[in-house]
Amino acid sequence: MGMVLGTFSMHTKQVTYRTDKVDDELEMTMVSHRPEGLEQLEAQTNFTKQELQVLYRGFKNECPSGVVNEETFKHIYAQFFPHGDASTYAHYLFNAFDTRNNGSIKFEDFVMGLSTLLRGTVRDKLEWTFHLYDINRDGFINREEMTEIVRAIYDMMGKYTYPALKGDVPKQHVDTFFEKMDKNKDGVVTLEEFVIACQEDENMMRSMQLFENVM
């Protein structure tokens, strides 16, 4: 008799399971996106057709649906930094690329961002970097935002570093940064201060040139 009861209960359980599956399937029909034509993208960015083709092939390989959401983005970025935790920095990067703020990056956004970074003028690059640091998009970088960014960068190093990360190293780093950047000592860095300070720094200019030939 226990068997009979048991089989009855099993039957009802099965029914609910099936309906769950149907719901899942509906969710699975994901949004697919196709980018604008090649010519338009070529006009809007500083890439050649071949470069756009190579970029799109790589993009489509990782994201067949045509859009990157934050999880995929973090996953991809984390592959390059196996030592530490790249998710925080990837989050900020994602927001920097996601210019339309709708939680996903289409190929156009991706290519625009890359065009600025690789083929843009120095001023463009610095502006892009400023927007990366300015988390709340208020036009100013304050200490908290900078600390977040620097901490995220240090997170990517992971635990096993030499010398070992002791004390509040990110904070010291932020202090150095503000010393350099904040000309009028008002506690925030504006875009102009940032651009001027960076252009004065030879090292930085040279480092930025390094990434010219990444493509």
- Return residues touching other proteins (CB under 8 A): 1-4, 6, 50, 54-55, 57-59, 61-62, 76-77, 79-83, 93, 96, 110, 114, 117-118, 125-126, 128-129, 132-133, 149-150, 153-154, 156-165, 169, 173, 176-177, 181, 194, 198, 203-204, 206-208, 210-211, 213-215
Specify the residue, 16 or 166, whose C-beta has the smaller distance to other proteins: 166
The 3-state DSSP class for residue 12 equals helix
DSSP summary character for residue 141: E
CB of 19 to other proteins, least distance (A): 27
End-to-end CA distance of the chain: 72
CB of 108 to other proteins, least distance (A): 14
CB of 73 to other proteins, least distance (A): 10
Q: Does residue 89 contact residue 170 with C-beta atoms inside 8 Å?
A: no
User: b/e string for 154-189 if b means 16 or more Cβ within 10 A?
Assistant: bbbeeeeeeeeeeeebbeebbeebbebbbeeeeebb
CB of 68 to other proteins, least distance (A): 10
DSSP assignment of 49-105 equals HHHHHHHHHHHHHH-TTSEEEHHHHHHHHHHT--SS--HHHHHHHHHHH-TT-SSEE
Specify the residue, 26 or 64, whose C-beta has the smaller distance to other proteins: 64
Specify the residue, 18 or 206, whose C-beta has the smaller distance to other proteins: 206
CB of 179 to other proteins, least distance (A): 11
Specify the residue, 10 or 214, whose C-beta has the smaller distance to other proteins: 214
